[in-house]
Amino acid sequence: MTSILEFDEDVEMFRSVVSRFNAEVVAPQVEKMDEEEHIDPSIISALFETGLMAVETPEEYGGAGASFTAAVAIVEELAKCDPSVSVLNDVHNTLVNTCVRKWGSDYIKETYLPQLSTDKLGAFALSEPSAGSDAFALRTRARKMSDGDFVIEGGKMWITNGAEAEIFVVFANAEPEKGYRGITAFVVEKSWGVKVVKKEKKLGIRASSTAVLAFDEVRVPKQNVLGIYGQGYKIAIECLNEGRIGIAAQMTGLAQGAFDRAVSYVFNDRQQFGKYVGEFQGMQFQIAQIASEIEAARLLLYNAARIKEAGGEFVKEAAMAKLIGSQVAEKTASKAVEWMGGVGFTRDETVEKFYRDAKIGAIYEGTSNIQLQTIARLIQKQYTLR
């Protein structure tokens, strides 16, 4: 076997497509979108046209039918240019498409996968004002009507893609007296009455929308129950376990993007005391340290992806990849700003944005504390003899 970072030809070809996509479609808009805190709709439609929004979706539903590793590699590659575009893609592919593909009935798959492959953006609506890390404390209710349909009532918060999405995977409790066993997942169309109440103003990934949603008596047909009634908690856990690998990919790509920009600058642009600043040993050792940490983050990432793809138990590895990925991203972006000095601190340069964007990695799809808890729980289980 060779390196875990050696990819099959599909993945390499996809990376080339994304690399050109980044340079021609995304890069010219990154600064503007960050300032305006809004993703340009042309980028979303270009992502769809290029097939980047249906990576794992089977061909018969309009997707590429490619691997999980391919989906993750695309998230990584997009993040090198803009972590906001990357997370939009990540949530759509690794959470929404995956939930629908894995748990949806034939009706749901036939109805929604082609739309999610063509032009309708998806969002994953789990978190609520009082249900973040404790996701199953959710208060959104699904009331069963006499004809079997449901009426959803409640609110969601921190919903990535919330402002632009047209298809939502929504978690609501249909039988609160049963506790988390009442939680059920639904596929809900925006046109049925999902309201975007607020778009958050954020520190980073500002072009990616984070929305507060209101469900005011939203009627959902019974055939839109996703998976088994009362097993929404299971769907949420499984999707998020997998989703963590996506965020690890976003963070690894972010780190690489910041590193590429800053290292190119110190070796080619900035001279002091008669030589390029990258030639000073003080700089070289820092660069070597960060390069090694990015490599470590990437190895954790693709190790988790490989185990997941082979059908193995990957929860610990995914949590580790996300934990370390977010730490490395933050550290790398911080160093990149320092390496570029005053220029790096200005908004004319992308590293300042990478630094702001990195912070979310320790928060969403399970905070770093939740990752640590997950890892610790599995270690305890492994070592406890009784």
Q: Which residues are catalytic?
A: 365
Our CB check for other proteins shows the closer of 49 and 216 to be 49
- The token pair that represents 29 in the structure block: 């808009």
CA nearest to 225, candidates 125, 126, 119, 142: 142
With beta carbons less than 8 A apart as the criterion, state whether 14 and 93 touch.
no
CB distance 172 to 50 below 8 Å: no
- Quick check: 62 binds other proteins (CB under 8 A)? yes
Q: Which residue has the tokens 């000073």?
A: 280
What is the smallest separation between the CB atom of 152 and other proteins, expressed in angstroms? 34
Pattern 76-115, binding to other proteins, x per CB under 8 A? ----------------------------------------
Q: Which two tokens stand for residue 124?
A: 């994953």
Q: Which is nearer to other proteins, 14 or 112 (CB)?
A: 14
What is the closest distance, in whole angstroms, from the C-beta atom of residue 259 to other proteins in the complex? Answer: 17
Note the maximum CA span of the chain: 81
Reading the block at residue 280, the tokens are 């000073």
Residues 18-57 that bind other proteins (CB under 8 A): 20-21, 46, 49-52, 54-55
Question: Cα torsion for 6, 67, 164, 45, to the nearest 10°?
Answer: 80
The verdict on 152 binding other proteins (CB under 8 A) reads: no
DSSP string, 320-335: HHHHHHHHHHHHHHHH
Q: Least distance (Å) from other proteins to the CB of residue 289?
A: 23
Binding-site member from 7, 65, 131, 144 for other proteins (CB under 8 A): 65
Report in angstroms how near the CB of residue 49 gets to other proteins at its nearest: 7
What is residue 23's DSSP assignment? Answer: I
Cα 113 to chain centroid, rounded: 19
Q: What is the DSSP letter of 274?
A: T
**# of chain residues touching other proteins (CB under 8 A):** 22
Write down the least CB distance from residue 364 to other proteins, Å.
26
Query: Could you say which of 1, 2, 3, 9 contacts other proteins (CB under 8 A)?
Result: 9
Task: Return residues touching other proteins (CB under 8 A).
Answer: 9-10, 12-14, 16-17, 20-21, 46, 49-52, 54-55, 59, 62-66
